[in-house]
Amino acid sequence: MHDDAAPLQVIMCLTFDHRVDPQEIATAKAAIIACPSVLHSVELSGTFDFMFEAEVPDMAAYNAQLSICAEPMAKLVSRYEANFVCKRFVRSSEEKQAIWVPCDDGMARIDCSKIDKVTAEGDYMRIHSAGQSWMLHSTMCALADCMPSETFVRLHRSILVHTNFIERLIHDRSHWIARLNDGTVERVSKANVVALLTRLRTDSSKRRAA
């Protein structure tokens, strides 16, 4: 049963009319992804083409937003379903994820939860944690696979960051810049903007629910 005081989370499943101009569909998807109330979205292959989860304060807000977008979306969508989230079941890993890095007297174990960021330096990756850093011969993709995807995001091809290490996101004209807790700034590549914004919105939603 839904708590009346809690915000509503709704999962929308859409099937686009394939007779519509693909560019119009792409524009509609981009508008949905950019909507502040949308937590995350995925493209599908099957009965539906696109699914997104949104959060609204209450049913009145849901009806108001739906009425605004219903008419333009009706021209693009041949089928849709709305489902309200009643309860979440999140699988948690009992084993802490960690990586081993070379140090002066051997190898050191670094818990992934304590890593602030990973930066690429040629064929090596620099692991940053609590003001210290270690060099590891690896690739960014290999390290990204070791990190929990729910807490680490790529800003661009040469940096992987813990979401808690991002102090602020700044929209500067046509691009985004991330200011980190150590005072450094990193430009977010266009290819990673949607994933980053989705992750941060999801984190904010979880904190409000807690």
- Mean pLDDT confidence for 162-169: 92
* Whole-model pTM over 0.75: no
Tens of pLDDT, residue by residue over 71-118, are: 677 889 999 888 888 887 765 544 458 888 888 888 889 999 899 999
Give Cβ neighbours of residue 183 (< 8 Å, ≥ 6 apart).
none
CA angle centred on 42, ends 187 and 97, rounded to 5°: 65
Of all residues in the chain, what percent carry a pLDDT higher than 70?
88
CB 146 within 8 A of CB 112: yes
Domain architecture of the chain: domains with CATH: 8-84 (3.30.70.920), 98-209 (2.40.50.40)
Tens of pLDDT, residue by residue over 4-28, are: 556 888 898 999 998 999 999 888 8
The residue written with tokens 């979306």 in the block is: 73
Tens of pLDDT, residue by residue over 186-206, are: 999 988 888 888 878 776 655
CB 53 within 8 A of CB 9: yes
> How many angstroms separate the CA atoms of 38 and 204, rounded?
12
The answer to whether residue 53 scores a pLDDT higher than 60 is yes
> How many angstroms separate the CA atoms of 153 and 162, rounded?
7
Q: Which pLDDT belongs to residue 94?
A: 44
Q: Which pLDDT belongs to residue 142?
A: 86
